Structure 1
């Protein structure tokens, strides 16, 4: 028996749809905040569990690795589930993982809790954007995806600094406990506010046949360019604090303000690019990549000059702001483009995109560390510029890469 899909809303942005998108954004906020807790709480975790800071640092790379490996198998396993049920499973796992982490008596248990969260991280991102797209007309897919991704940026601007401050003031376990409560609240809100969203038999077959995506040239090209671009971004982003401190010469409280500026620029850029991402998606992608290349080129030049001063701070700070704006705005544009490229299976296409993104995070972090240790900051930032330039050339040269829905 074929399940009939729910009727698409006639109005693009009703109060109910706005509330549902806000819940999805909150889920993204909590998930990313939980993922990045070890960054701000690293010294506290190391001291409490009596392990080195380097060991605690492996929690991030291992998280990305697990997410990359688990995403596509879980997308196929949950193919026949209503979309709300799939999202609920990921949020329940998130809540449980944070509870386990908060109560962890040793590093092994903490790592186990993180694995539980990482297992469903990619699955969450493979369904959350398609859920948002199902709530609105096809002409508003990019805007709905951008609204959800606002939660990710808020996690970087608000969630991570707040959990880091709580770790310093109260202890890392208390910070993780707060994240646990937030995750439980979002889980409840998602269950109450979102419709079940069952899939038709044709949609289930499409998700289960996601292995055929390797024959979809546009989707594979988008995923490959995403992998290259994300790798280039994370080579330097992993060491953004070092870049701000040692290249631009900004330290202390001013460093924190510049990091906040990075995130605020991202939020602003996402809002400004929401409508163009629907109307001119390819131009939006190319523009963001070009801005990223420019920012990295400027920072690489400053790193090679080894000079500090008012001009260096002004130019370097501007490059950081451009970096934050372009890198943050590009993620929802790419995911919306991926879903458009495979309209018969947006969930499976998103799963492939998320896998490429997670591999890019892991590869970028590892390559960034290698470049930083072996060749220094100018080479490291230059490597980011080169890889993003490759992604830019590929996006600009490929015809029909990003479909437009009007």
Structure 2
């Protein structure tokens, strides 16, 4: 594999680490700024909303800028945001830094996937994209727990300085290792916009918001729940995050393997299991062993739904997937934002640190109902009748990775899915998520 993929993987590692590390550092940040835990949870909400806004806008802008230059600019934005968070004199400034950093998230993975695929022979494109997303996998298993450990012992500002340093390293690597590529041709957006009117696309994105959001009702407030309710020492949260990350990786791999074979059955099973475990966690959280078992299960069932959810969107927009894929990246993060906000609401209302899990269970159950509705509508459609609008205008080859432009399709990028929201990790070649 080309060394350029290492530079892209470093960028993915930094983005994945900064997205999730605040979950492990909420008490430290809240104490320093004198805010409540629910208020500190807005750092997760703000980041997620930044991805929602930044993913489609910067993906469109990036389609008109040379890709190497755009990747470096996006990582520069990432560095600036994390440095601002590290230096923040007030909570509002730190929140602004989080939003600035998040704007680069979706577009980096969308454009980076096209670049990665262009670095290798046609038969190795999917493997190259998966290699870049390995950075996200490692971030969930290593970067987030280590960032939490560093923040708890040396101060949370040190963690964000280190993450900013990773961004600088990624910029240098991209500059030195990624070859120059021609300016992409302008693409027509009207056909892409038309696909967003497809009812099945709307249902798929709603499933994404609700299903993936359920995971974040737990993960955003995992530290106060595990320390205040379960009785773990703050230092033990690092290892609980490792378990959560390991569950994410396993679920992601399983979802990536079976999304092509049995997409809807996989969604039914993963969303049902996710709702059940989230509903039981308020009870399991009162015992260290059962809590330690439940946390990786939530990661596994939550991330098993990521490949089929992203592929569902691509299946419904096969003739014009670019903008829809970018918007679905935002949908993963919109779910994160809603979950973090709702979790803060129920905690502030006095229901305790386990209450957000009930909210998550309801969100996952709602996603399951939408999946059943979507399948029912599909069965009633005329044979051969998946309606996709705008295909004639878009001129995009089916199966392009998220954020891809028209010429990205021409380059033969045909992986089924590459979500980068808040949370994905590398999967089998048929589906390579990341959420984000």
Q: TM bucket by the smaller chain?
A: 0.7 to 0.9
Report the equivalent of 2:411: none
State how 1:16-55 maps to structure 2 within 5 Å.
Answer: 16=2, 21-42=5-26, 51-52=34-35
Structure 1's 92 and 131: CA in aligned 2 closer, same or farther, altered over 3 A? same
Report the equivalent of 1:234: 216
User: How far does residue 396 in structure 1 lie from its aligned partner after superposition?
Assistant: 4.4
Counterpart pick for 1:224 among 196, 206, 213: 206
Structure 1: 5+ residue stretches without partners: 1-14
Structure 1's 363 and 85: CA in aligned 2 closer, same or farther, altered over 3 A? same
Report the equivalent of 2:248: 266
Counterpart pick for 1:296 among 259, 278, 302: 278
Structure 2: distance between partners of 1:282 and 1:97: 39
State how 1:203-218 maps to structure 2 within 5 Å.
Answer: 204-205=187-188, 207=189, 209-218=191-200
Indicate yes or no: 2:292 matched with 1:317. Answer: yes
State how 1:378-393 maps to structure 2 within 5 Å.
Answer: 380-393=356-369
User: How far does residue 241 in structure 1 lie from its aligned partner after superposition?
Assistant: 3.3
Is contact 2:255-2:304 (8 Å) kept?
yes
Structure 2: 5+ residue stretches without partners: 379-385, 387-398, 400-414, 417-429, 431-436
Report the equivalent of 2:335: 360
Structure 1's 251 and 165: CA in aligned 2 closer, same or farther, altered over 3 A? closer
User: How far does residue 352 in structure 1 lie from its aligned partner after superposition?
Assistant: 0.6
User: How far does residue 96 in structure 1 lie from its aligned partner after superposition?
Assistant: 2.6
Which structure features the higher share of helix residues?
A: 1
Q: Normalising by structure 1, what TM-score?
A: 0.76
**SS in structure 1 at match of 2:196:** helix
TM-superposition CA deviations, 1:209-265 (whole Å, max 9, x none): 532232233332221110111232222332233444566565565554333212122
Counterpart pick for 2:80 among 85, 96, 99: 96
Is contact 1:32-1:152 (8 Å) kept?
yes
Structure 1's 102 and 398: CA in aligned 2 closer, same or farther, altered over 3 A? closer
**SS in structure 1 at match of 2:103:** helix
TM-superposition CA deviations, 1:285-322 (whole Å, max 9, x none): 3333233123223325547xxxx5xxx55444332221
Structure 1: distance between partners of 2:250 and 2:331: 26
Structure 1's 367 and 41: CA in aligned 2 closer, same or farther, altered over 3 A? closer
Indicate yes or no: 2:344 matched with 1:369. Answer: yes
Structure 1's 53 and 29: CA in aligned 2 closer, same or farther, altered over 3 A? farther
Structure 1: distance between partners of 2:54 and 2:121: 31
Indicate yes or no: 2:296 matched with 1:275. Answer: no
Report the equivalent of 2:433: none
Counterpart pick for 1:180 among 157, 164, 173: 164
State how 1:71-90 maps to structure 2 within 5 Å.
Answer: 71-90=55-74
Structure 2: distance between partners of 1:372 and 1:104: 26
Structure 2: distance between partners of 1:138 and 1:278: 20
Is contact 1:248-1:317 (8 Å) kept?
no
**SS in structure 2 at match of 1:29:** helix
Report the equivalent of 2:45: 61
Structure 1: distance between partners of 2:358 and 2:330: 25
Structure 1's 140 and 359: CA in aligned 2 closer, same or farther, altered over 3 A? farther
User: How far does residue 195 in structure 1 lie from its aligned partner after superposition?
Assistant: 5.0
Indicate yes or no: 2:97 matched with 1:122. Answer: no
Is contact 1:142-1:275 (8 Å) kept?
no
TM-superposition CA deviations, 1:169-221 (whole Å, max 9, x none): 444443333222211111222344445565865x711x465322322333322
Structure 1's 107 and 346: CA in aligned 2 closer, same or farther, altered over 3 A? same
TM-superposition CA deviations, 1:91-133 (whole Å, max 9, x none): 1211233334444555555444333213323333443455556
Is contact 1:72-1:348 (8 Å) kept?
yes
Is contact 1:41-1:167 (8 Å) kept?
yes
Deviates more, 1:215-224 or 1:99-108: 99-108
**SS in structure 2 at match of 1:268:** helix
Structure 1's 244 and 126: CA in aligned 2 closer, same or farther, altered over 3 A? same
Structure 1: distance between partners of 2:301 and 2:29: 33
Structure 1: distance between partners of 2:111 and 2:367: 25
User: How far does residue 363 in structure 1 lie from its aligned partner after superposition?
Assistant: 0.9
Is contact 1:140-1:278 (8 Å) kept?
no
Report the equivalent of 1:330: 305
